[in-house]
Amino acid sequence: MKPILRLLLFILPLYAATACGDGDPSESTPQPEAVTLVSSQPATGATNVDLSTKTITLTYSAEVNFASGVQADFNGQSVALTSFAKSTATPNVMTFTIPAPLELGQSYTLSIPEGFFTSKASGDNVPAHSVTFSTKEKTNVDPSSIATSLITPSPSKEAKALYEYLLSIYGQKILSSTIANVNWNLDEADMVNAATGKYPAIATFDYIHSYTLYDDASRNPYKGGWRINYDDISQFAQWWEDGGIVSGCWHWNVPNKQADKYGQDAYTCTPGSGEKNSDGQMTTLFRPKNIFVDGSWEKQIADQDLELIASLLKKFQEANIPVIWRPLHEASGNATMGGTAWFWWGIDGAETYVKLWRYMFDYFKSQGINNLIWVWTTQTGYGYDPSKGILYDTDWYPGDEYVDIIGRDEYTKTTEESVAEFDAIRASFPNKMITLSECGDVAKLSDQFNAGAIWSWAMPWYDYDADNTAHSLDNHQYANTAWWTDAMNCNHVVSRDLLPNLK
């Protein structure tokens, strides 16, 4: 055989083997593609992200494994692998737990460096990537849109000064507040001070047992042993002298029927015979619409009650003490949500209620009372229709010329729910300050403020077990030590010692 032919026979098999892929393995086995982030929730670049968002979901092009020795970053805070969890159903999905509640008007970035995750298939590092999003902008409270003067003609200089102070800090601070245990004391304020070392800025009383001052045939005094001397305002005068703000409310008791002595009086009852119904609930024959009927027994009761309360409020006026006044609260009850009112002053509907509010206002005005700041309470669930931009119970509103401040009573509400209600009220009453006039088991004030619920003040309801000698703020049913400690340590919450001289 010729040498050239012999050489060709040797080379051709080698060429064929190479051509068939028996050579470089990289040309026969496809290499895994680099793993990348496909999508996220919230998506990167998202805006108006809800504050209730607790996690960021990361979806990768293939399954990734955890690495070690490298830390990710969330808005300047280092986060370890323990902040991430792999989905068992879809192993290419990772869930990151956001370490703290989101705040309004903030941008957030989750930065994951190269090598934090690795490809399960190849072991290669996943390249660096990030997710950036922002929450909705904080609605700034503009005090310039709020009414600058009180509705009371020629208000006392102290009431005027107090209102001007409330207006000056509105949208920047939340005043702390407590209410008397039942009626006429500073027990709750003292309990807060014992636990936190600070007194709340506002102390509230309730004229709930004012009827005990009557001593005649129709009104039996000292119901149930209560002997409250509402003529003695010394403890609240001292509170004012010590730099605190005074507020008052009135659970207005009326007889269930004309013949009753005060043993059957109530403020929470439904229309009926004046006796208990089949459900064991007390009903009433007292109808607020009859207050405006000359000669009616309801008018007689209402007029003598208003005369009494006016005389008691004058004692504060004579002592140059302004009073934040919140009567006839929560009037609509559930009436706007398919239910009924739960206080007698709401059982005849919105029109009668508005008439009663104005009746009280005009009577106090005729008596020369000029030291009150009037607070009306909007009520019922969320009661907000975003498509209309109004609250459901605006028909119950007495009118701008009869109300200084709008209140809201909230129980068992999250931060997000409180913000929604605050925004709803502001949308309906843009020219009035908004306050959390009563609350219980709600989110911390620091969280509410940061999220945009910047109430003028916040007042947890009193604990019904507070008269127990073993009781403390630790087991308070509406606002415990942790809640109050947060409040008193928040830069945006005002305690009594931080109030200016309002005299």
Is the torsion defined by CA of 155, 159, 161, 166 positive or negative? negative
Using the predicted structure, report yes or no on whether residue 20 has a pLDDT greater than 90. Answer: no
Say whether 204 sits in a helix, a strand or coil. strand
Q: Parallel, antiparallel, or unpaired for β 72-74 and 77-79?
A: antiparallel
- What angle separates helix 187-196 from helix 481-488, to the nearest 10 degrees? 70
Q: What are phi and psi of 64, to 5 degrees?
A: -120, 155
Specify the pLDDT at position 14: 46
Specify the pLDDT at position 96: 96
Q: What is the DSSP letter of 200?
A: B
Using the predicted structure, report yes or no on whether residue 88 has a pLDDT greater than 50. Answer: yes
- Rounded Cα–Cα distance for residues 451 and 388 (Å): 23
Query: What average pLDDT does the segment 245-269 reach?
Result: 78
| HEC per residue, 321-358 | CCEEEEECCCCCCCHHHCCCCCCHHHCCCHHHHHHHHH
Q: Which amino acid is at 36?
A: T
Q: Are 325 and 297 in contact (CB under 8 A)?
A: no
Specify the pLDDT at position 30: 60
**pLDDT (tens digit per residue) in 440-497:** 999 999 999 988 899 999 999 998 876 555 667 888 989 999 999 999 999 899 999 9
CATH code for residues 143-498: 3.20.20.80
Using the predicted structure, report yes or no on whether residue 9 has a pLDDT greater than 70. Answer: no
Specify the pLDDT at position 110: 97
Q: Are 105 and 135 in contact (CB under 8 A)?
A: yes
CATH 2.60.40.1220 fits 37-135, yes or no: yes
Report the half-sphere exposure of 340 (CA within 13 A, side-chain side).
Answer: 10
**pLDDT (tens digit per residue) in 319-374:** 999 999 999 999 988 887 778 888 999 999 999 999 999 999 999 999 999 999 99
* Tokens encoding 50: 């809800």
Specify the pLDDT at position 29: 58
Query: What average pLDDT does the segment 172-193 reach?
Result: 92
Q: What are phi and psi of 30, to 5 degrees?
A: -60, 135
- Rounded Cα–Cα distance for residues 455 and 175 (Å): 8
* Mean of per-residue pLDDT scores for the chain: 85
Using the predicted structure, report yes or no on whether residue 22 has a pLDDT greater than 80. Answer: no
Specify the pLDDT at position 72: 93
Which DSSP string corresponds to 359-384?
HHHHHHHHTT---EEEEEEE-SSS-E
Whose CA is closest to 455, among 246, 143, 171, 247? 171
Query: What average pLDDT does the segment 145-150 reach?
Result: 92
Using the predicted structure, report yes or no on whether residue 225 has a pLDDT greater than 50. Answer: no
pTM assigned to the model: 0.76
List residues bridging with 58 in a β-sheet. 40, 94
Reported as a pLDDT band with limits 50, 70 and 90, residue 140 is: low
- Rounded Cα–Cα distance for residues 188 and 268 (Å): 24
* Residue 427 vs residue 375, higher pLDDT: 375
Using the predicted structure, report yes or no on whether residue 416 has a pLDDT greater than 60. Answer: yes
Q: Are 298 and 351 in contact (CB under 8 A)?
A: no
- Report domain extents, the chain: 37-135, 143-498
Specify the pLDDT at position 70: 83
